[in-house]
Amino acid sequence: MVLGTSSGAGKSLMTAALCRVLRRRGEQPLPFKGQNMSLNAWVDQQGGEMAYSQALQAWAAGLEPRVAMNPVLLKPRGDSTSEVIHLGRSVGTARAEHYYRDWFRPGWAAIRTGLEELQASHPGGRLVLEGAGSPVEVNLQARDLTNLRLAQFLRARCLLVADIERGGVFAQIVGTLALLRPVERPLIGGLLINRFRGRRSLFDEGRRWLERETGLPVLGVMPWLDELFPPEDSLDLLERASRKPCSELNIAVLRLPSLSNFSDLDPLEAETSVQLQWRRPGEPLGQPDAVILPGSKQTLRDLQALRSSGMATELQAYVARGGQLFALCGGLQMLGQELHDPDGLEGERAGERVAGLGLLPLRTVFEGTKALRQRRSRALWPPGPGEPPLIEGFELHQGRSEQTDQTPCAPLAEDRQLGWWAASGTQGGLVAGTYLHGIFENGPWRRRWLNQLRQRCDLPPLGENQPHHGRQRDALLDRLADAFEAHIDLAPLLTGGDCPEPPPS
């Protein structure tokens, strides 16, 4: 089990690295995180919802992602409540102060079921567990679902990860160990120092001190990697300050208050010719070559944030001046003429009707049943040479959008419900949007979309014969695993003695 001294210590990527390393050694790693809180989601082949970080770990392990790897997913709604998802299906909404009272037993049952399903499907596999946040939040320890309770239950050997980049690494480690209960302390098999900058020899004295004071081996010091890995939550986007000296296109991405599925933008981040510029509502939009309006967990609230900040007016003016605007999922819904919430699923009042940005002739009605499914279709837009590219991804949204009787817009794909586009005004503006998460992962389509921007900027076209982004992501996971194997000694963790007996289940 990979534990962290805090949120953001690097547990998710260290778990992914461990999965890839074990796979290289001939084992079948089984990634598992009992409970995750994230707005970055994935939909598996059976139409179940899970955290994207566990999907990434599944790819690292050479497996198809499945909801059993993340049986409890909490999706924050921004008002001290979260949507609760068990084994891929939404089962209700929980307030923070009542969560452990109302959801502990059902959550533990979902975790047990996920474990049983995962182990039954791969009977020779080795579970690789990821913890959540800090394992020693003393006010929550008695009702812990996904850290040391799970480690004790499975008798897992635990690796404690600390992020030296944030400072205070010695206090992080010693304080965490000091707050462990006596029955939990023997579970910790080693320490890992993450995100170290500079020469590792500079930490030799610190390493010796930690081993002397804690009695635990420091299994390694992971260097700072100059790679852009997928962030686990939107807070990590603040640390994305990449600057590309060879970039030719500047694309503004709106950082909505309830931003979701931001991993949709990773393939664009990986394009050396593209510089993404994150803009909060209220910040100047500038004159980017395109604007992306991403997904949202709270579409009506984020639409209101665009209005109250003046960003809605700025977007409308940007398109009127000839700008290009592309929207994803909840962003697509905001582009329409009207959003209707008959059951109060998105807003504060049932029956609420809200005017959209008026940039596409669409009307959206929010419905209780989510659209959760993987999709594949042939693109009809943007136009380009040769055969139209295939696009694949997944739908994850509440709400059904249909064209109104106003000026028609054209479908983005042969599957006419996946998205729409329309020219806007007399200055060459263009507005488009899709419900298909992962659309930019499709290399030929992504390059065709970039090329129509490049043509407007008098730039030469890029080659469209590009593989799926999954291949680039896999190479990134290999580089992560290379660094992990070069700097981390797993032998004490993989060959250690038995852990303490588990508590009653």
Structure tokens at 378: 């042939």
Q: Name the burial class of residue 138, with classes exposed (0-12), middle (13-18) and buried (19+) by CB atoms within 10 angstroms of its CB.
A: exposed
Q: Give catalytic status of residue 437 as yes or no.
A: yes
Length of the chain: 505
Q: Which residues pair with 31 in a beta bridge?
A: 128
Give the strand order in the sheet containing 290-293: 274-279, 249-254, 290-293, 324-328, 429-434, 419-424, 410-411
Considering the candidates 86, 437, 469, 499, report the single residue annotated as catalytic.
Answer: 437
- For the chain, state the CA radius of gyration: 24
Amino acid letter, 238: L
Considering the candidates 19, 86, 158, 329, report the single residue annotated as catalytic.
Answer: 329
Q: d(Cα 464, Cα 442) in Å, to the nearest integer? A: 10
Residue 301: φ, ψ to 5°: -70, -40
Q: d(Cα 369, Cα 349) in Å, to the nearest integer? A: 18
Q: d(Cα 162, Cα 133) in Å, to the nearest integer? A: 11
Q: Give catalytic status of residue 122 as yes or no.
A: no
Give the strand order in the sheet containing 400-403: 352-355, 338-341, 362-365, 400-403
Q: d(Cα 80, Cα 376) in Å, to the nearest integer? A: 36
Q: 66 with 77: CB under 8 angstroms?
A: no
Q: d(Cα 394, Cα 52) in Å, to the nearest integer? A: 12
Structure tokens at 490: 């797993």
Q: 413 with 380: CB under 8 angstroms?
A: yes
Q: Catalytic positions, please?
A: 329, 437
